Chain A
Amino acid sequence: MLEPEGGLTSQPISTNGGPRIGVYVCHCGLNIAGKVDIQAVVEFASTLPNVAVARDYKFMCSDPGQELIERDLRDGLVNRVVVASCSPLMHEATFRKATAKGGTSPFYFQMASIREHVSWVTVDNDDATAKAKALVAGAVRRVALHEYLEPRQASVRPDVMIVGGGIAGIHAALTMADAGKHVYLVERESTIGGHMAKFDKTFPTLDCAACILTPKMSAVRAHPNITLWTYADVVSVEGFTGDFTVRVRHRPRYVREDLCTGCLACIDACVHKQAKIPAEFDEGLGKRKPIYIPFPQATPPVVVVDPEACIWFKTGKCPRPCIEACERDAFDFEQTETFEEVKVGAIILATGFKTFDAAKMPEYGYGVYPNVYTSLEVERLLNAAGPTSGEVVLRGGGKPKVVGIIHCVGSRDAKHNLWCSKVCCMYSLKLAHMVKERTGAEVYNFYIDMRTPGKGYEEFYDKILKEGVHMVRGRVAGVTDEAASLEEEGRLVIRAEDTLIGSVRRIPVDMVILAVGVEPQPDAQDVRRLFNISCGGEGFFTERHPKLAPVSTFTDGVFLAGACQGPKDIPETVAQAGAAAAEVLAMVDRGAVVLEASTAFIDDAACSGCKTCVGLCPFGAIGFDDERKKASVNEVVCKGCGICVGACPSGAAQQHLFTDAEIFSEIEGVLEYV
């Protein structure tokens, strides 16, 4: 699998007689020469062991400068190179290329930084010259021990898998499919769409969620480059970046997906004349039958049979009018779960979030008082395709005249979740607007801080304020049905301190909406183990770097998009999904991953099987063979940090380009003389 790249290196120059080092000291104009005595450094370098040639030049990084190196190599005067100039972070790549062009390994090269670390920071010229000599000595000692390494690459499989079919997964899938990549989109539920499919309108523009989402869902289904697997989940992942083998389980719908047209005749025909089972998609507010489709625009438009509720599965005795009603003969009650394995180059996790379980805060009465709702339940009430056809009808019947919306339920709370869930203020304002619009009720929003930072968000807040929504700044202490006055009889009462006026208020309402926060999915730990990534303290997946690498993880080839990485709204989710798609595309289009040169390796004979290294690798790059009792490093995954090498108690682990011997010799060199 590891194919050394042709390209940069050709036949190794024979090192008959051992290392012959060329030392090239750069003036860098006056940047170095103005402080360091270049001639003294050159003379000193020529006295060092194994140095065959020592030169200086005004600008080593220029073409003529590089040509000096290349020519000496080609002429056989030298076979290893030291350049004393600027920082390796600046020009190491440049000089490695020159070394390679001269006909040898680009890694037969070492740099001494005598500009950033010497001439630019030292006051006294003699001190600067002495320090420059020391650093050159270190580099010369070291390079004599460098191994002949060649740049290596591993190939990347062209297909991609996305786990999770919410808006993040959908957007990433479409982006990559449009770029010509084959995408497997795996979704656990029987339809894609995620949470967004449940909403009615989205902030701040109040466009209809279904209107913006469903075209994308159809596009996913129709796209020739997307293989859509719903009612499916990932059971195992093997391999590593560029070459993952993923095993997917398809759960049985008992209906053939390739035959069902979504006509829904079977649902009408079902022996259950009334829908009685709480519908999960409607947050339990609506009802469904044992055979159902989550919502009208479900994609794929294929029904599902619930074997826990279907009489045929429970008793074996049912005339099954559904089978007859189906003109396509799509039923197959013998279906079982099936497994399939695919090989992909990269994986994007877009597994989304769950909302905070409001029952954990009994002081708010969720599950106790029928007219306390979560925000997600209210979304379903407001949705025209929902259980009440878009009317805000209370469980007990009737419409509310006064509604209280409680922010930060489960969020910013030392007893539950410490973080701010980012979206709740905005959606609470949205719900305030929509409930007011549908019912004309008085609406009270109880908030701690109003967080409306996005584009158009503050303006939205202004709009809601102007609509006459009442804002009470104070954390709600509780919701009660115990009336303290006539006015409160038969209603729910929200008690909160209104901090802006400095007094405790009791506000009688007919409906309480709890703005529940965003949490990681309940199986986030299992999922992250499956994909070999990590979760942060709160349980969201950990990104490689919060600012500079927010969509990648520490496991190469596994990327993140959307709320599974942390609470975020739809614009951010889509942006992040696009970012993840872009990174995957970069990887797949390049077709190869360049392996770190400075990877660790373990001398098999020397390894005692002590396992000290295995758990230390942040990337899981070290595998352990229990039978042979040997550890080994996967060079494709190894990022070259050297933690394992520093810890290996018997010196069996070493690091290319940073072996113990190379570092000891560099230490010797920099201390070589007074």
Chain B
Amino acid sequence: MSKPKVAFYWCASCGGCEEAVVDLAEVVLDVVEAVDIAFWPVALDFKVSDVEALADGELAAAFINGAIRTSEQQEMVELLRRKAGAVVAFGACAWLGGIPGLANLSSRESILEFVYRGSPSVQNGDGGVPQELIDVPEGRMTLPHFDETVRTLDQVIDVDYYLPGCPPPCGLIAGAVMALVEGRLPEKGSVLAPDVALCAECSRAATKPEDLKLKSFKRPYEVIADPELCLLAQGLVCLGPATRSGCGAVCIAANMPCTGCMGPTSRVIDYGAKALSAIASLVESEDEDEIAVLAGQIADPVGTFYRYSLPASLLHRRVEPARVSEGTAS
């Protein structure tokens, strides 16, 4: 019996998810034995035409990482969706938008303007900006369309499963692949990680007081954190309480607070809002002015609470101001 075929593909991503597969180390041999990788641009020399030549559904699964920002990415994931029995959104970017998702705080124009013209380190003679279509002596050249908004994978195609993490922990990757191969996958739409927050796994949980109250928030560079004590109790914004476990709390083991890459539990619909609520509830003050000051100590709240999940949030992206010409009475 032939081995199930799988594909790995990357969209708006950093390559870390690819490395995570490689990080399986010797386990990758088990993976390679269990499945046939039919498409993996970073590592193997298959072409898009090879994928197009497959029958619909011939791939057992497509593991797609990265968020969707360009028309090329959209076309590729739509292609893989047709050809795959199951699509797994691999990593925080595919599930929630990831760090690329923070681009949703800017507009397409401002990004292009900054990168190609405005950045202090750019020298761009005629100030040209990439065009989707340009005719040059050699012929017509095209570039994919660069979307206004970063989207998650399931905002573009139907997704069957989600593997969280930035990148997903090796154990979860191996588990997901084996579950697929052995036909053991849970119900469609599931996130393939424990549905309980990180504190359950964290070795420092016992040191967290039951009535924690914070008078100030610190950033990691401002303190030398005690390696035995709960980081939140030390005033660092650790999002462990709001974030899924399954990663072994490796960041905490490195004495760094959790930044939320494993995403929310199934009971939460907006990660950033819930994480914010938990952190805010710890503020020790009843005075309105003091509370405002303490809240202000959290640098860049969007970046802190929606670091990996802005496109998936209820607001998706920064709001444009209402256009004056529409709708107002006078």
Measuring CB to CB, which residues of chain A are less than 8 angstroms from any residue of chain B?
Answer: 603, 605-612, 614-616, 624, 626, 629, 643, 646-652, 660, 664
Would B277 and A649 count as touching, CB distance under 8 A? yes
Would B274 and A611 count as touching, CB distance under 8 A? no
- A651's partner among B199, B211, B212, B268 (CB-CB below 8 A) is B268
Would B200 and A649 count as touching, CB distance under 8 A? no
Q: Verify if B129 is at the interface (C-beta below 8 Å from A).
A: no
15 A-B pairs in the complex with CB atoms less than 8 angstroms apart: A606-B267, A608-B198, A611-B199, A612-B241, A612-B278, A615-B210, A615-B213, A626-B206, A629-B205, A646-B281, A647-B281, A650-B242, A652-B196, A652-B265, A660-B267
Would A616 and B199 count as touching, CB distance under 8 A? no
- 8 A Cβ contacts from B194-209 to A: 195-200, 205-206, 208-209
A588 CA to B295 CA, complexed, in Å: 46
A370 CA to B195 CA, complexed, in Å: 74
A647 CA to B279 CA, complexed, in Å: 8
A652 CA to B199 CA, complexed, in Å: 13
Would A608 and B267 count as touching, CB distance under 8 A? no
Contacts of B281 in A (CB 8 A): 612, 616, 643, 646-647
- A649's partner among B195, B211, B213, B278 (CB-CB below 8 A) is B278
Q: Verify if B152 is at the interface (C-beta below 8 Å from A).
A: no
Q: Verify if B264 is at the interface (C-beta below 8 Å from A).
A: yes
CB-based nearest B residue for A616 = B281
A76 CA to B211 CA, complexed, in Å: 49
Q: Chain B CB within 10 Å — which of A648, A649, A652, A660 has the most? A: A649
Would B205 and A648 count as touching, CB distance under 8 A? no
CB-based nearest A residue for B271 = A649
A660 CA to B314 CA, complexed, in Å: 15
- A610's partner among B197, B269, B277 (CB-CB below 8 A) is B197
Would B210 and A650 count as touching, CB distance under 8 A? no
Would A649 and B274 count as touching, CB distance under 8 A? yes
Contacts of B208 in A (CB 8 A): 610-611
Would A649 and B241 count as touching, CB distance under 8 A? yes
Q: Verify if B275 is at the interface (C-beta below 8 Å from A).
A: yes
Contacts of B274 in A (CB 8 A): 648-651
Q: A612-B241, A612-B282, A615-B213 are in contact. Are A649 and B197 (CB under 8 A)?
A: yes
Would A615 and B212 count as touching, CB distance under 8 A? yes
What's the minimum C-beta distance from A141 to chain B, rounded to whole angstroms? Answer: 16
A615 CA to B278 CA, complexed, in Å: 12
Contacts of B209 in A (CB 8 A): 611, 615
Contacts of A629 in B (CB 8 A): 199-200, 205
Q: A611-B212, A652-B197 are in contact. List 20 more A-B contacts (CB 8 A).
A: A606-B267, A608-B198, A611-B199, A611-B210, A612-B212, A612-B241, A614-B210, A614-B211, A615-B209, A615-B211, A615-B212, A643-B281, A647-B278, A649-B268, A649-B274, A650-B264, A650-B268, A651-B267, A652-B265, A652-B267
Would A646 and B210 count as touching, CB distance under 8 A? no
- 8 A Cβ contacts from B148-169 to A: none
- A650's partner among B206, B265, B269 (CB-CB below 8 A) is B265
Would A607 and B196 count as touching, CB distance under 8 A? yes
- A606's partner among B212, B265, B275, B282 (CB-CB below 8 A) is B265
Chain B: residues with Cβ within 8 Å of the partner, total of 31
CB-based nearest B residue for A647 = B281
CB-based nearest A residue for B274 = A649
Contacts of A612 in B (CB 8 A): 212, 241, 278, 281-282
- A608's partner among B200, B210, B213 (CB-CB below 8 A) is B200
CB-based nearest B residue for A608 = B197
Q: A606-B267, A608-B245, A612-B278 are in contact. Are A650 and B197 (CB under 8 A)?
A: yes
Q: Verify if B240 is at the interface (C-beta below 8 Å from A).
A: yes
A268 CA to B319 CA, complexed, in Å: 91
Q: Chain B CB within 10 Å — which of A607, A609, A610, A650 has the most? A: A650
Contacts of B196 in A (CB 8 A): 605-608, 650, 652
Contacts of A615 in B (CB 8 A): 209-213
A606 CA to B197 CA, complexed, in Å: 8
Task: List 3 A-B pairs, minimum CB-CB distance, nearest first.
Answer: A651-B267, A615-B211, A608-B197
What's the minimum C-beta distance from A525 to chain B, rounded to whole angstroms? Answer: 16
Would B278 and A648 count as touching, CB distance under 8 A? yes
A614 CA to B212 CA, complexed, in Å: 9
What's the minimum C-beta distance from A460 to chain B, rounded to whole angstroms? Answer: 41
Contacts of B200 in A (CB 8 A): 608-609, 629
Would B275 and A649 count as touching, CB distance under 8 A? yes
Contacts of B277 in A (CB 8 A): 646-647, 649
What's the minimum C-beta distance from A674 to chain B, rounded to whole angstroms? Answer: 12
A178 CA to B265 CA, complexed, in Å: 57
A649 CA to B196 CA, complexed, in Å: 10
What's the minimum C-beta distance from B172 to chain A, rounded to whole angstroms? Answer: 17
Contacts of B210 in A (CB 8 A): 611, 614-615, 624
What's the minimum C-beta distance from A656 to chain B, rounded to whole angstroms? Answer: 16
A651 CA to B263 CA, complexed, in Å: 13
Contacts of B199 in A (CB 8 A): 608-611, 629
- B242's partner among A605, A624, A649 (CB-CB below 8 A) is A649
What's the minimum C-beta distance from A77 to chain B, rounded to whole angstroms? Answer: 34
Q: Chain A CB within 10 Å — which of B197, B198, B275 has the most? A: B197
Q: A605-B196, A609-B200 are in contact. Are A651 and B278 (CB under 8 A)?
A: no
